[in-house]
Amino acid sequence: MAVKRIALAYSGGLDTSVAVKWLMETYHAEVVCMALDIGEERNYEAIRQKALTVGAVQSVVVDAKERFAREFVFPALRAGAVYNDKYLLATALARPLIASELVRVARETGCDAVAHGCTGKGNDQVRFEVTFQALDPTLTIIAPAREWGMTREDEIEYARVHGIAIPVDLDNPYSTDTNLWGRSCECGVLEDPDNTPPAGAYEWTHDPLTAPDQPEWVSIGFEQGVPILLNGEATDPVQLITQLNAIGGRHGVGRVDCVEDRLVGIKSREIYECPAGTILYLAHLDLEHIALDKDTLEFKRGVAQRYAQLVYNGLWDGTLRPHLDAFVASTQAHVTGSVRVRLFKGTAVVEGRTAPRALYRKDLATYDVGDTFDHTASEGFIKIWGLPTKINAALDRG
């Protein structure tokens, strides 16, 4: 496969640094590196420089935090997408974004190939490559870590021989991935699903057992399913998520431990931290329960599951999502209002909610004076509602 210039999704870590040199040597090609800032707090200028030091002909850093929040995270929040009942999809949502920015950079810098550092065992390779194929099928796709057959030790040796600086955190026993929406942690002692995660597996959240003894309340204001107010103040998406991560993390909210089904057929044990996501999902769903009718809520639950699957399985740019988005958008027209959540020692509990278009009617719900519900109508309703049950039960009795 002859390629001249390869755009590489670069993180500054060992794998992608080795990949720069390996691509240059193996393909006799130039390498352009792109690092994406999607909310992991890192020194991006140092990452940009490192790529050049290793040998990239160009190195760019793209700030995509805002785009990530608005175009990826909030649509998933509105849809209510949760994978395997637990995972809020931080990594899965970021991959199609990284892939689309890489395709853009590849075109702008005259590349004929794109490359990523994923192994052949995970979901991320699928997510990257499906999006590459969708956005620009003319680009050759290269996955060095799938091709080179090097162990971690081989990589370290390769880096040493080629004068590539070895990252200082190489003794980190975990494999992690971090962005604005969440942090994931796997490998090491976590590979035994029966092992309690060591304290060091968590970085964003306080241990709930030693979290503050005083609860804290946050109120989230939504407009058409999008969070726009934090404690009554207009807050932009990135700030809102960042601040909620800090507040929730302080109270130990958002820890998730799950055995998850990968697309490639294996189960893996993962630890996630997603304080903002946990609070926002809880608040959003609660608001939906006061603003949406029973049928729509029930149907939307199935859509949420399907949405989560397609995001997890790398089909963000696939055929189904636009149709699900259209349904979700239609449901969110009246999902406007405010939800108050109490945070305390690892728990997030909704304490109150208001919505201008609430379907809740006190005059129908009340057991006090002012009740307008027609009690007499229930008698006939129950006779007909229970008719099939009554007929079947009579047959069973013989």
Binding positions for ligand ARG, rule: CB under 6 A: 91-92, 123, 175-177, 184, 186, 260, 270
**Six-digit token pair at 313?**
């399985």
| Whole-Å CA distances, 376 to 372, 380, 381, 390 | 12, 8, 9, 21
Active-site residue, 192 included:
no
Is the Cβ of residue 91 or residue 205 nearer to ligand ARG in the bound state? Answer: 91
Kindly tell me which of 117 and 227 has the beta carbon lying closer to ligand ARG.
117
Pick the catalytic residue: 67, 100, 124, 184? 124
Nearer to ligand ARG, 28 or 267 (CB): 267
CA distance linking residue 274 with residue 94, whole number of Å:
14
The C-alpha atoms of residue 209 and residue 361 are separated, in whole angstroms, by 40
Smallest gap, in angstroms, from Cβ of residue 95 to ligand ARG? 8
From 95, 127, 321, 353, the catalytic residue: 95
Nearer to ligand ARG, 16 or 123 (CB): 123
The Cα 131–Cα 229 span in angstroms is 33
CB 54, CB 20: distance < 8 Å: yes
Strands 216-223 and 337-344 turn out to be antiparallel
Shortest gap between Cβ of 203 and ligand ARG (angstroms)? 12
Catalytic (active site) residue 15: yes
44 in helix, strand or coil?
helix
| Nearer to ligand ARG (CB atom), residue 58 or residue 184 | 184
C-alpha to C-alpha distance for 291 and 195, rounded to whole angstroms: 42
Q: How far apart are CA 361 and CA 37, in angstroms?
A: 46
Rounded to a whole number of angstroms, the minimum distance from the CB of residue 77 to ligand ARG is 16
Q: Which residue has the tokens 């729509």?
A: 296
Identity of the residue numbered 73: V
CA 288, chain centre distance (Å): 20
Which residues in 271-301 are b (16+ Cβ under 10 Å) and which e?
bbbbbbbbbbbbbbbbbbbbbbeeeeeeebe
Minimum gap (Å) between residue 61 Cβ and ligand ARG: 21
Distance of closest approach, residue 181 Cβ to ligand ARG, in angstroms: 11
Phi, psi of 352 (to 5 degrees): -170, 160
Whose Cβ is closer to ligand ARG: residue 184's or residue 336's? 184
First to last CA, the chain: 76
> Whole-angstrom Cα distance, residue 134 to residue 389?
52
Q: Which two tokens stand for residue 106?
A: 């590849």
Establish whether 219 is a catalytic residue.
no
Say whether 184 is catalytic: no
Least separation in angstroms between CB 118 and ligand ARG: 9
Cβ atoms within 10 A of the Cβ of 134, count? 17
Which residues share a beta bridge with 353?
A: 339
CB of 36 to ligand ARG, least distance (A): 15
- Give whichever of 93 and 135 is closer to ligand ARG, judged by the CB atom: 93
Contact 128, 118 (CB under 8 A): yes
Nearest to 191 by CA among 175, 202, 203: 175
Q: Which of 11, 15, 286, 317 is catalytic?
A: 15
Amino acid at 83: Y
Catalytic member of 136, 175, 340, 342? 175
Question: Least Å distance between CB 96 and ligand ARG?
Answer: 12
Measured from the CB atom, is 101 or 273 closer to ligand ARG? Answer: 273
**Among all residues, which ones are annotated catalytic?**
15, 95, 124, 175
